[in-house]
Chain A
Amino acid sequence: MIHFVLLISRQGKVRLTKWYSPYTQKERSKVIRELSGVILSRAPKLCNFVEWRGHKVVYKRYASLYFCMCIDDTDNELEVLEMIHHFVEILDRYFGSVCELDLIFNFHKAYYILDELLIAGELQESSKKTVARLIAAQDSLVETAKEEASSLSNIIAQATK
């Protein structure tokens, strides 16, 4: 299973963290510090796997961002690599050629997408289309709710004038 997902920028800034195994806040920041040290210092041509505290961390760099997933020792590293790519493609479709800034300003959207992809550290959906459809449906639910709320407040505003 995936123990956590981590997105870190080349400068070591955290862009997304998702924990599927219990880590306390203290452990979390320690993990992030340790791992960014290890991963950011690796040369480009090396393999995408790092052994770390009895687990393995699979990472892949896309532009300025490192996507990392920590998995069990017995898991399939190559598959996780493919999973990271799967996630990136979905993000790319959603944002339209995604860049780091998209993930900074719309970090919650990235989380929503991740939640449609993984639950309990396991893969949920292998179809990019399905994920995109589900996210779009929920986004439109939010939009409708917002519109309703604003028209409601307009009515109230007019009524109380």
Chain B
Amino acid sequence: MKQSETTSLVAERGKWGYTWPLWTTLLLHLLAVFLFTAGFLLTRTELPHRSHCSDVSHSPCLSSNNGSCWTKPAANRLVLVVLDALRFDFVAPSTFFAESKPWMDRLQVLKNVASARPLSARIFKAIADPPTTSLQRLKGLTTGGLPTFVDVGNSFGAPAIVEDNFINQLVLNGKKVVMMGDDTWTQLFPHHFERSYPYPSFNVKDLHTVDNGCIDHLLPSLYEEDWDVLIAHFLGVDHAGHIFGVDSAPMIEKLEQYNTILERVIEVLENQSGPGKSHENTLLVVMGDHGQTLNGDHGGGSAEEVETAIFAMSFKKPISSVPPEFDSCSCQLDLDGKNVCVSSMQQLDFAVTVSALLGIPFPYGSIGHINPELYALGADSWNLDASQKLSESDIWMQNYANALCINSWQVKRYVDAYSASSAVGFSNDDLSRIASVYAQAENHWSHSTKKLLLDIQNDSDTLVPALKRQIDAYFKFLTTVSELARSKWTEFDLKMMGTGIGIMLISLIFQFLTILRANKQHGETLSSSGNSWVITGSVFTFFLLGIRACSFLSNSYILEEGKVANFLLSTSGIVALRQSVIKGKALIESIGFLILSTFCRFVIEVGLSKQAATSAFMKDYTSWIVNIASGLVVWDYAAEVVPMLALILLAAWLYNVTSGSFFDWPWKYVILGTILSYVLIIVHWITDSNKFGVALMAESIGRNYIPRIVYAIALGQLLLLGFGQLFMKNCLDYKANLVAKTTAMLSAWSSTVILLSGKQGPMVAFASIVGGALSFCTLSLYKISITCCIILQIHFWHGFTYATNICGLAMILTFRSQFHEHQTSCSLAKKYVFSHFFPGYFIMKFVDIEGGKQGPHRSFSILQWSLSATCLFFCSGHWYACNFQGVHLMASAMVLHL
């Protein structure tokens, strides 16, 4: 009776009258998430410009006359040893810290050299900028900029650096670069190296492959003459930190191993450094790309993570020391009673300083300044054209002032170009402030310093004070720019975030009002259809949702969200099992659901353990299956075959489904198209993998054409679907029609999704289909459909969940490192789609069809839906991919295929 009343109500108002609040809510939420993430995900535009040797003639500075490019080269060869995740306290003597720890004083050789030869070897405390992940740091080190997580203009996923960088400058200026170690370098610079010995950084548990590979090639290469710059990137310390933590025996072993290697490297270079020998003019740099916490984590902005070390040493006869004004070093006696000095610098300054030392143009987008102490290591090679009147330190200062002049001009050029080309450039106030500071320094240069420098007759008494003032003026300009850039690229836009949260709150109020309204209309329906399970069911649902919402207020729960969601999902599964025990129905479905959630749980755990592989991202083997099974050949084959079997199973299941009576012609053809796509995907995988040595067709066909065909089929399917939706009459009963439409729609999407997500795709698809089927069963089990009121309540809670999510983020952000929030917000938008839109779609479908016939306690099923969507989200490994620009990975796969 009540039922017919409601249905007539639905008929009278049309489905739009019921669904518009849902659409409005969805719109508001999307807007809120968009605004919030716009303020939260820092973006930066990459400029494609390059610096050229000839550019320097546009600058007001003195150009060198002896054929060098921008600055006079102080070193002609560079050995760059990068030790991943090198904490500052690995290098500095333990006396610099309050407490001596077991991992300190292990790299003895560096501080011994630094104390024995304070003029030609130096230890720096290098401050990196967040995000302190290897990819971003290598980018920052080589470009001299501040890379963010989302660099617009990035060539969709392929991590190769688009911006000008010092490796690129080396190649452009005819220097030969040799690389060994972490293969991230070869991904960043695919065509730059003369020779490279990349080793996979994928497996964190493997402490030795990369390091041993480095060691095998490093020492022999030192004797060779065919390179100008040698890069060796060791990963062992990073991996040891991830697996065992800093305070562990493997870490200390690794550090001691490095100590011996560095000793040998320095010995070889030393022996070859005599006049006329190959390393006469070589600079050795040993540096970390970022630090790590005691647990081995990095990525954030805490002191432990950003503080790393740079050790630089030149093998020439030391001549002069830096004038004390520019010396930032602090000295301490170490345990052996030797005096060790440690200076401090920004990692941002590394690219430009090294470029200046090597005499190549500074990277176009570099915003650092030439570090005086590091620059001073090349000091002695400039005394050739020195007049007798000036001391060496004065000559050094002349050179330095000129280098800073070029440096400032280059930074100003970049700032102008950036604000001209980027949609979200610097504000006008900031630009005019920069311009005025630059003009001031520039004035001083052209009107006094330049003249003084050109006039050789000046003695140091008049020159030196003028130079000092000049250098100070340039420092002021360069610091202003780098501060501004830091505020723009490493700090969040609180206004946008606030607006986002505000809109979220508005949408909550809106939902609340709609609920009130709907309650008024349907109040009697609700109360009359109430039975005890309905009440306890909804109480339980809201209890779980409330717990989930509250859990977002804590950072720990956000980090473990996959596990928490799975915990709640399993709990709901157990409650459903209990319910079916009471009713004695659908026992198998409930048990199946529980087994599925357990399966989900294991998949999530595998994904999380892989997430620890910080420096091991962008791999060809994105599939976790392959990751686990990389040890055995049999497993290799299994890893290849299992996804295919799963796909064949899926295809068979779909074929079975089409034989069902309620599949009309358009849906049937859509599904047949999907089966065809699956077959093509399997063929694609076979041709793609190197395991089955069968060349069924030319490789290029398999690589390029099959994905295109699959996309074309998917497009055709979607068109067909749209056509069917528009022109087919819904002659069958609603339920069957719904099932047909849903299956067709999902299958139309599935082939593309499977192709994009690689070999774990079919597993996830399989799990989601089984899960979906089971949920359908549980839905039909209760034999009750949804009223608008309940949907809105659920959405209200969802909104609340996300609002707390966002508020929690905002709260945490004020006192915690940025990295995890980056991850979270990056996944926020996608999770929103996964866990909000899909259930939302189905809810609307049900509203559409059953028009709120009766009974509100579908809420429980919707909760299950939503939780399983979240779990599947975590299963699909997006969480992991998110870390490392996985957003791009997905898109790039598609772009590459096309």
- The answer to whether A binds B is no
- B residues near A (Cβ < 8 Å) are none
